[in-house]
Amino acid sequence: MSRRQTALAACVLAALLVFGSLALGQRISDTIQQVLVTNFPERFPVTGRVGIEGPVRLGRAVALGETLVSPVPRESTTDLIEGGVLDASGFTSVTLSLVAEVKGDLGRPGEVGALLVPDVEVVQRAYRETGDVLFPLEVSAALRPKTLYSASNQPIYTLAFPRYRVYFYNTTRKSVSVTLFAYLSAR
């Protein structure tokens, strides 16, 4: 056998090994595999059957419906427009997006925004009684005259609470229709 034939045979053998191992890897990953669950009863008690049904969701998109926000400055916290509740339980971060549609001609620039305040009794009590906004997540969109639609940047926040109440503000002289989008993720 010549050197050239030996080299060709070695290349063919290597290619067969690579493709064979890829095919074998595919077959192994398609088969049912046993999973071992270790129980630490003092710290993480596991009882009964352990299983996962359906796909594991690592993210969820939520849209809080369109809300008409009349003019109210951000500083007038007790007058902010309520926009619903964001349930963030099971997720560790959120990306916020706000879209605004101006109703009429603005005349001058302004801003519309959303404050997400933890839905926890002491935090909500501080908000109701004194207007203090504790631990807020915020997103805002700049509004310009002669522009019908505006969108915010997309800040990403680490979530510290399972539920947030949404409050909107509007620094223009016209009512603005806003929709808040939240992409929740477990990362």
> Residue ranges per domain, the chain?
59-185
Q: Which fold has domain 59-185?
A: Jelly Rolls (2.60.120)
List, for residues 66-99, the tens digit of each pLDDT value.
999 999 999 998 899 999 999 999 999 999 999 9
Give CA–CA dist 179/156, Å, rounded: 17
Q: Sorting pLDDT into bands at 50, 70 and 90, what band is 176?
A: very high
More confident residue, 103 or 115: 115
For the stretch 29-73, pLDDT in tens is 566 777 776 667 777 777 777 777 777 678 999 999 899 999 999
pTM: 0.72
